[in-house]
Amino acid sequence: MYTLSILGPPGAGKGTLARHLCAALDLTHLSTGDLLRRLAREESPRGAAFRHYIAEGIAPPDELIMPVVLETLAVCGGPYERVLLDGFPRTLAQAQALDAALDAANAALARVFYVYISPQEAIARLLYRWNCIQCAASYTFPNGTAEDQGCTRCGGKLERRWGDGNPDILNARRQVFYDDTGPVLDYYERRGKLGQLNGELPEAEVSALALNLLAA
Catalytic residues, by residue number, are: 14, 90, 129, 161, 173
Q: How far is the CB of 127 from ligand AMP (least distance, A)?
A: 15
Other residues' Cβ atoms within 10 Å of the Cβ of residue 45: 8
Cα–Cα distance for residue pair 204/182, rounded to 1 Å: 26
Determine if 125 is a binding residue for ligand AMP (CB under 6 A): no
Cα–Cα distance for residue pair 170/163, rounded to 1 Å: 6
Q: Whats the size of the chain, residue-wise?
A: 216
Task: Please give the size of the binding site for ligand AMP, defined by CB under 6 A.
Answer: 12
Determine if 87 is a binding residue for ligand AMP (CB under 6 A): yes
Determine if 195 is a binding residue for ligand AMP (CB under 6 A): no
Q: How far is the CB of 179 from ligand AMP (least distance, A)?
A: 13
Determine if 90 is a binding residue for ligand AMP (CB under 6 A): yes
Cα–Cα distance for residue pair 131/163, rounded to 1 Å: 13
Question: Taking contact as CB under 6 A, which single stretch among the options 38-46, 71-79, 87-95, 189-197 is the one that binds ligand AMP?
Answer: 87-95
By the 10 Å C-beta count (0-12 exposed, 13-18 middle, 19+ buried), 103 is classed as exposed
Interacting residue ranges for ligand AMP, rule: CB under 6 A: 10, 32-33, 36, 59-60, 65, 87-88, 90, 94, 173
